[in-house]
Amino acid sequence: MADYDQELDASGLNCPLPILRAKKTLGAMEAGKVLHIIATDPGSVKDFEAFAKQTGNELMESKEEGGKFHFLIKKA
């Protein structure tokens, strides 16, 4: 997984909490910085794709590893 500036562990949280927490965390970050999100909700895969498309933040990476979902989002 590429480098990131900040991490958000949303394990155990269900829709819509991972998206809301990610939005809040990104809000406090500078443009161009990368946020690493860890989630366990399988729905978050499609949700973060949709989140990136609609907010303009770039989804750099999305992968599953050992039952956890990892996302790298670069703030627009």
Partner 1 sequence: MEQKKLAIIATKGTLDWAYPPFILGSTAAALGYDVEIFFTFYGLQLLKKDLDLKVSPLGNPGMPMPMGMDKWFPVLGTALPGMEAMMTMMMKQKMASKGVASVEELRELSQEAEVRFIACQMTVDLFDMDHNQFIDGIEYAGAARFFEFGGEADICMYM
Residue 4 phi/psi, 5° resolution? Answer: -145, 165
Contact residues for partner 1, defined by CB under 8 A: 12-17, 19-20, 22-24, 40-41, 50-51, 54-55
Positive or negative torsion for Cα 55, 59, 63, 66? negative
Comparison of 1 and 76: residue with beta carbon closer to partner 1: 76
Residue (of 18, 61, 62, 7) closest to 40 by Cα position: 18
Comparison of 1 and 20: residue with beta carbon closer to partner 1: 20
Is residue 15 annotated as a catalytic residue, yes or no? Answer: yes
Comparison of 1 and 50: residue with beta carbon closer to partner 1: 50
- Distance, CA of 67 to CA of 76 (rounded, Å): 29
Minimum distance of partner 1 from residue 58's CB (angstroms): 15
Q: Which residues are catalytic?
A: 15
